[in-house]
Amino acid sequence: MSEDIQAGLAEILEEVAGVAPADATPEKSFTEDLDVDSLSMVEIATAVEDKFGVAIPDDELANIKTVGDAISFIQKNQG
Amino acid sequence: MSIRLPEGAPGARILGLGAYRPRRRVTNDDLAQVMDTNDEWIQTRVGIAERRWASEDETLQEMAVAAGGKALAASGLSPDEVDLVILASASLKEPIPGIGPQVAHRLGIPRPGAFDLNAGCAGFCYALEVASASIRAGSARNALVVGVERLTDVVDQTDRSTAVIFADGAGAAVVGASDEPGIGPVAWGSDGDQFSAIEIAAGTGTMTMAGQAVYRWATTRLTDTLIQAMEAAGVGPEDIDVFAPHQANLRIVESMSKKLGFGKETVVARDVVQSGNTSAASIPLALTALMESGEAKSGDLTLVLGYGAGLTFAGQVLVLP
């Protein structure tokens, strides 16, 4: 399940920010390691909302620092 | 005894546009000298290459008079034919008096209805609707709409999240009656639950912006408004010659343009690259730039959308003069 989420997230990261899928591993920080800026984070959040059917309010988005954070957020909030 | 009403006009259209760009050009490299930023950082996030900052003598009034005078000249009207002046601004230094009456007086417009309107970066489109509706209702024969800002007065020049974005300038439009409507129905509204997303908090004098929240709102909630503005005017994206949304951030411009499916045949305003975000002045500045460069021409069907602090938004379809 977390592998599926990771793969889906990697697709979004590639589409929005040009991140190579192999680089989208749980320990990676979006801003530090993957060079994703704050506005691309918003685009990733809205794409994640559409793909996984979760809501990521702006204050929650601020707490999502790594790919792993995003995976656990999706796991926890997916209905 | 019944109250008599004026006949009004079947439609309204823009008769002339005018702009004023402050003299001082500030590049990203200039900003990199005084704050922790660089050209690449700014270009990738907001798409701005340079902007204009007003000098001391380029006051709101002076810039509004300069842009308004050019719009009047372009319209071919004499000042005494104008009887409504709406001045849209979000950066007025003193709330009393409003500067609309003074700007009208300076332009030689005799005793018009005149007032200031604050709808943030949506101000120009809000004012355009009030002008157009007043002409159709018979409350005014012709109206002058001015968007003018000195956002450098309200921005912390060391805050790289706002100082690289916001800038100064003025743009104006003269609106008059027409048999064929040249300004379509407005699609407008507000999301007041997000009032604090862009604000000058009491006592601070400094504007702050929740960049991520505003970016999300602009790229997800306003597509429907753009579609409503076109549907209300009876046109579709394929009919639009020019798309000139508020010049907030190039990435928002490109995102909206992509969502509406505009291709190469539609001219998209990207004046933000040269002018930064000038709030209520950005749309008339962008339109005059496109007409001066020849990219847009008289008669072009144009979709505009203002959006910003409030949060407010307003879009309409119009015909370029």
- Residue B183 is predicted with a pLDDT of 98
A-chain residue closest to B221, CA distance:
A46
- Residue B231 inside a domain? The answer is yes
Judging contacts by C-beta atoms under 8 Å, the chain B residues touching residue A39 are 45, 211-212, 215, 249, 251
Same domain, B172 and B44: yes
User: How many domains would you assign to chain B?
Assistant: 2
Q: A39 and B213: CB-CB below 8 Å? A: no
Say yes or no to pLDDT of B39 above 70: yes
For residue range B249-304, list pLDDT tens digits in order. 999 999 999 999 998 899 999 999 999 999 999 999 999 999 999 999 999 999 99
pLDDT band at residue A79 under the 50/70/90 scheme: low
Among B143, B178, B213, give the residue marking a domain's end. B178
Distance CA(B41)–CA(B219), nearest Å, equals 21
| CATH number belonging to the domain at A2-77, selected among 3.40.50.1820, 1.10.1200.10, 1.25.40.10, 2.60.40.10 | 1.10.1200.10
Distance CA(B8)–CA(B181), nearest Å, equals 13
| Residues counted in chain A | 79
Say yes or no to pLDDT of B157 above 70: yes
Same domain, B39 and B173: yes
Q: Considering the entire predicted model, what is its pTM?
A: 0.94
Would you list the domain boundaries of chain A? 2-77
- Residue B4 inside a domain? The answer is no
Cis peptide before B101 (omega within 30 of 0): no
Task: Write the burial class of residue A63 (CB in 10 Å: 0-12 exposed, 13-18 middle, 19+ buried).
Answer: exposed
Judging contacts by C-beta atoms under 8 Å, the chain B residues touching residue A41 are 212
Same domain, B17 and B154: yes
CATH number, domain with residue B196 = 3.40.47.10
ipTM of the complex: 0.90
Q: A43 and B219: CB-CB below 8 Å? A: yes
SS3 of B217, please? helix
A residues 38..57 contacting B (CB < 8 A): 38-39, 41-43, 45-46
Same domain, B269 and B159: no
- Residue B143 inside a domain? The answer is yes
The domain containing residue B160 runs over which residues?
11-178
